[in-house]
Chain A
Amino acid sequence: MRPSDQLAEFTRDALAAGKSRDDIRAALTQSGWAPNEIAEALDAWADISFPTPVPRPRPYVSAREAFFYGIMFVALAMTAWHLVALLHNLIDHWVADPLDEYSGRSALSSTRWSIAALIVFAPTFLVLNRRTVQATKADPGKRRSGVRKWFGYVTLFLASISLLGDLMAVIYALLSGDLTLRFILKALVVAGVAGAIFTYFRQEADEARDGA
């Protein structure tokens, strides 16, 4: 039996035996369990008056949702990446920098890739996101999906890295004399897209935490 299973079993038995939560916490603390482990073990059982311990709903993992959220977050990542790439190409086209070599056909080619990616992945993300919102409204228990939480936090992680990288690039450009209008616009695009994702999924993560 794993230590976490032993802890869960002990907590259930102790609650079933009528011990108070404070007594259980004290006993576990004395035995060397960490406060967060104790809190998690106690939180697994609802603090209500009932003859036997009543379990709280717990996060779950489902293969179907892993597929669903996997597609959705890949679609989001592709949409964000190619939206940034396309907007950068548009900025290159509209804001001239006399010190830059004209990239001609390669810029057109990358613009076409980004358009193709957006035509495929942006509607995919929007449709799946809409389905998620509707499914969550119909069944708030879906917020407890472990897969959804993981993908949400991975997205937050990537958005945070993008924002920090963006800040680093701005400072580097400032120090290297490349802080042109073109560069500032590009940095704003990255910050805008990453910031939007960050805001949106931080709210999602908050809701998921509330739902757990």
Chain B
Amino acid sequence: MERDALAPVIIGAVVVLAIAAGLTITGGPTSARAEKRDLARLADLRVLASFARCVADITGSAPTKLAPMGDCGTDLPLTDRTTDAPYRYEALTAKGFLLCADFERPGLITNFDIAGAVWQHDQGCFAFTQP
């Protein structure tokens, strides 16, 4: 095969292989949608964490359960907007608490997703233990 015919075949083959390998990592449109749902859950957990910290600052201890409180916010995202499953909350210490959700791609979540929290991969929870 001459160069004019061989080069495009090689380029095409490399590109197709790279795209196929890339798709095995990214997972296609369904996985991408699951990531978007996880991002929405993370946004909700940030709101709930901010609420719990506010309550802890005002009252001196983390709330025992998540219930709207005037000074810290009344419009709380208490359930997962895609599945309607409630987010799980648990007070740990005086000001420490745990916030959990059913993440679909937990492997992509890190400590950096919610400031000041520790990601517990196995439980799907963020632990807030820093004062």
Contact = CB atoms under 8 A, between A and B. Distances in A.
Interface of A: 79, 83, 86-87, 89-90, 93, 102, 104-105, 108, 111-112, 114-115, 118-119, 122, 125-126, 129-130, 133, 196, 200, 203
Interface of B: 3-4, 7-8, 11-12, 14-15, 18-19, 21-23, 25-26, 32, 35, 108-110
Contact of B19 (A108, A118, A133): A118
Nearest to A79: B15
Nearest to B110: A104
A89 B26 CA distance: 11
A200 B12 CA distance: 15
Given A90-B21, A133-B4, A111 B15 contact: no
Contact of A111 (B4, B8, B12, B25): B25
A126 B8 contact: yes
A108 B108 contact: yes
Nearest to A76: B11
A18 B12 CA distance: 56
Contacts of A89: 22, 25
B13 to A, nearest CB: 11
Contacts of B110: 102, 104
9 contacts: A79-B11, A83-B18, A108-B25, A111-B26, A114-B22, A115-B19, A126-B8, A130-B8, A200-B7
A79 B15 CA distance: 8
Nearest to B32: A112
Please list the 6 inter-chain residue pairs (A to B) with the smallest Cβ-Cβ separation, ordered nearest first.
Answer: A122-B15, A115-B22, A133-B4, A86-B18, A104-B108, A111-B22
Given A102-B110, A203-B3, A86 B19 contact: yes
Interface of A is mostly: helix
Contacts of B4: 133
Nearest to A87: B18
Nearest to B8: A126
B124 to A, nearest CB: 16
Contact of B22 (A90, A125, A133, A200): A90
Given A118-B19, A126-B12, A112 B108 contact: no
B121 to A, nearest CB: 12
Contacts of A119: 19
Contact of A108 (B15, B18, B35): B35
A126 B4 CA distance: 11
A89 B109 CA distance: 18
